[in-house]
Amino acid sequence: MWGGRFGGGPAAIMQEINASIPIDKRLWEEDIAASRAHAAMLGAQGILTQGDAQKIDAGLAQIAEEYAANGVPVDLSLEDIHMTTESRLRDIIGEAAGRLHTARSRNDQVATDFRLWVRTATDRIDAGLAAMQKALLDRAEEHADSIMPGFTHLQVAQPITLGHHLLAYVEMFARDRSRFRDARVRLNENPLGSAALAGTSFPLDRHATAKALGFDRPMANSIDAVSDRDFALEFCASASIAAIHLSRLAEEIVIWASQPFGFISLPDAWSTGSSIMPQKRNPDAAELVRGRAGMLLGAFQRLAVVVKGLPLTYSKDLQDDKATVFEAFDALALSLAAMTGMIETLTFRLDRMRALAATGYSTATDLADWLVKEANLPFRDAHHVVGSCVKRAEQLGVELSALPEAEAVAIHPAVTAQVLASLTVEASVASRASYGGTAPIRVREAIAAARAAQQD
Ligand code: ARG
């Protein structure tokens, strides 16, 4: 395609390092869509005859069918998806195929294809995140009143509702979705028509190709259009943050499924066994989601390092952008699907969660709050009184509710047996009804709000 000034062909290793077709064949739908939009615009502008434009369009439509049916042929001598398609077009329609590349370069072509691909990938991830949220919302609704220990420092802290805990992830994934959506707005501009770097002498209509490809407008600067990859970096950055959220949830599944916790069990479909220990049931999928976050974080780094030292405009280093983003997308889509499946099907061991929620003096803050409200103690004093009660209960090896009244009133006269008996985990969670709090009534409201937000 570019051999006019060359006497000999490339060395075999040159061909191998240069070719991107094994990777960028994944852009074929976008490549054909962009070529059809370009050809139609060239025809409408009188840059190509209507006859040639139509021949090109029909040929490209046929190639799309061939690729869909048989895959994209990989021939390293054709370098990339752009030349592979153009070469096939020449086989089908002959000489007119050579007119498709008028007023175009592979530099604006690949930038266009890649933006279109990342746009679709963004929409797919959004759907995956929405499905993840729905699974969490369904389980949260089921468990709006179920009680579990809430942790700080992985120490039992205060009783919470399981629904509230699950809703925390719904919020994180909502922000992930909004990050992807924000990035999509910036991404959705058309590089096509920038040609190699400087624009073109042909009277293009870049607004027309933008419209045909669903872009909001043409990119304003041809140099920027062919050189920058911040849309791909934003995709990887957003994907990294979503992967961090998934990894934390995965970590909780791993911990919760362990025998010392025993909060959940995963069904057979989401567990694996051990080849030596017959009793084993391992949460491998969660561990793999946790591990794959490493790949996603690496993807951002890898792409950032490729781009950061490049002078304007295009350099071939940029060819490696696609493998990175494809891998990141695949890893995130798979992680989301696996995590959604686990959340939908795991069983919560509610007795165990509730029992542990009552350990570790988890209602100590409730007693301190009660002393502030009913005995008018300053919170710091109340904190001290309750600290002494906990210390004594610990010495006696009992929970707060079982502290003998004589011991309690000796610490502070207001701490009667009746007060201690009222320190149940149910009362504790019901009392935390501040906005955003763990009380079942707030959890149900939050579920309704999150479901409504999902419809937008
Ligand atoms: N395969 C190339 C890539 O992915 C297409 C652009 C080639 N441009 C060039 N000037 N050699 O980046």
State the residue for tokens 């929409």: 123
Residue nearest to atom 12 of ligand 1 (CA): 319
Tally of CB atoms within 10 A around 242: 26
Q: How far apart are CA 190 and CA 323, in angstroms?
A: 22
Residue ranges and CATH numbers for the domains of the chain are: 12-102 (1.10.275.10), 107-186+215-356 (1.20.200.10), 358-455 (1.10.40.30)
Mutate which of 101, 316, 322 for ligand 1 pocket (most atoms within 8 A of beta carbon) = 316
Rounded to whole angstroms, the Cα distance separating 456 from 448 reads 13
Q: Which residues contact 362 (CB under 8 A, 6 or more apart)?
A: 149, 150, 156, 157, 158, 159, 425, 428
Report which residue type is found at 236.
Answer: C
Closest CA to 26 of 107, 91, 108, 113: 113
Q: How far is the CA of 110 from the centre of ligand 1 (A)?
A: 7
Q: Give the model's pLDDT for residue 456.
A: 65
Task: Tell me what pLDDT residue 287 has.
Answer: 97
Instruction: Determine the angle formed by the axes of helices 162-187 and 230-257, rounding to 10 degrees.
Output: 170
Per-residue tokens: 269: 């479909």
Residue of minimum CA distance from atom 10 in ligand 1: 107
Determine the pLDDT at residue 298.
Answer: 98
Mutate to test the pocket of ligand 1, among 319, 324, 325 (most ligand atoms within 8 A of CB): 319
Integer Cα distance of 389 and 400 in angstroms: 7
Asked if 87 is an active-site residue, the reply is: no
**Any catalytic annotation for residue 20?**
no
Predicted pLDDT of residue 273: 80
pLDDT (tens digit, 9 = 90+) per residue, 217-231? 999 999 999 999 999
156 forms beta bridges with 151
Query: What is the reported pLDDT for 214?
Result: 98
314 lines ligand 1 (CB under 6 A): yes
Contact 312, 223 (CB under 8 A): yes
Which of 234, 237, 203, 197 has the alpha carbon at shortest distance from 219? Answer: 197
Contacts of residue 428, Cβ cutoff 8 Å, sequence gap at least 6 = 158, 159, 362, 363, 366
Q: Which two tokens stand for residue 193?
A: 């028509």
Biggest distance spanned by C-alpha atoms of the chain? 102
Positions in the chain short of pLDDT 50 = none
Query: What pLDDT does 454 receive?
Result: 85
- In this prediction, residue 99 carries a pLDDT of 98
- Residue 324 CB less than 6 A away from ligand 1: no
What does the alpha-carbon distance between residue 364 and residue 48 come to, in Å, rounded to a whole number?
Answer: 80
Closest ligand 1 atom, residue 79 Cα: 1
pLDDT value for 445: 98
pTM of the model: 0.94
